[in-house]
Amino acid sequence: MTASGIGDADEHGGRDLTDQRRDDMLRAAADLIAERGFSETRIADVARRVNASPALVIYYFGTKDQLLTSALRHSEDAFYEECARQLEAAATARERLEILVHLTCGPDSEDLPGTWGLWFDLWAQAFRRPAVAKHRVELERRWRTTIAEVVTAAVAAGEIKPVDASRFAATWGALLDGLSIQVALHDEMVGADAAFEIAMTFAEQALALPTMDAATAD
């Protein structure tokens, strides 16, 4: 047992304090990186926000790069939890695709833990740091898999004709990334509404998905 409390059990019989401490650091890191950017966020800043020592933050994460990728993973877990909840409640493929657009580049995305600021920094760091680049690939794969699963389920349900779900996921995922950047930067021509229209128009054409008018008529 150490003075830092590593290994202590929660007196309420639930969660280990080690896990809670780590989660607190991840939330603090995500908030700080989103606010200031990766280069302006120090280990000491994260430690100060959670009333811990810099040494304890380093104990959990080892490096600042690892702290960035771990914070993004933590944020993404919250995103996918909300994503799964909404997809489960949707009745059609169109509704599920619309959910994915809203969560990535619509007003709904602002209500989720974590922000696009984390992804901006991840992309910038991954360009020059192989260790970060590896994590980016894994996170991107998770997103593409989510999109592909929606498409595959739509094919199985007979809502759309057979398509290459993986190829669509890679293409549409990249389109959503680009649109999200424009929305996050408050581009004068590509706001949330325009991004939604662009993304769904592409999906309709690529998947032979019924248009909004046709879906409403049915």
pTM of the predicted model as reported, rounded to 2 decimal places: 0.80
Q: Which of 14, 17, 33, 105 is nearest to 75 (CA)?
A: 33
Residue 107 pLDDT > 70, yes or no? no
Is residue 56 over pLDDT 80? yes
* Domains in the chain: boundaries: 64-209
Considering the domain 64-209 in this protein, what is its CATH number? Answer: 1.10.357.10
- The answer for residues whose C-beta is within 8 angstroms of residue 5's C-beta and 6 or more apart is 17, 18, 21
**Model pLDDT, residue 169:** 98
Digit-coded pLDDT (tens) for 167-178: 999 999 999 999
C-alpha to C-alpha distance for 75 and 81, rounded to whole angstroms: 10
- 13-17, 83-87, 127-131, 179-183: least confidently modelled range: 13-17
User: 11: which DSSP letter?
Assistant: T
Q: Give the span between the Cα atoms of 27 and 9, in whole angstroms.
A: 21
Residues with Cβ within 8 Å of 159's Cβ and at least 6 positions away in sequence, in order, are 92, 93, 209
Tell me the mean pLDDT in the region 28-56: 90
If you search the block for the tokens 């389920």, which residue do you land on? 153
Alpha helices of the chain — where are they, by DSSP H?
A: 17-36, 43-49, 54-61, 64-89, 93-105, 116-126, 130-156, 165-184, 192-207, 212-217
* Contact yes or no for 207/163 (Cβ under 8 A): yes
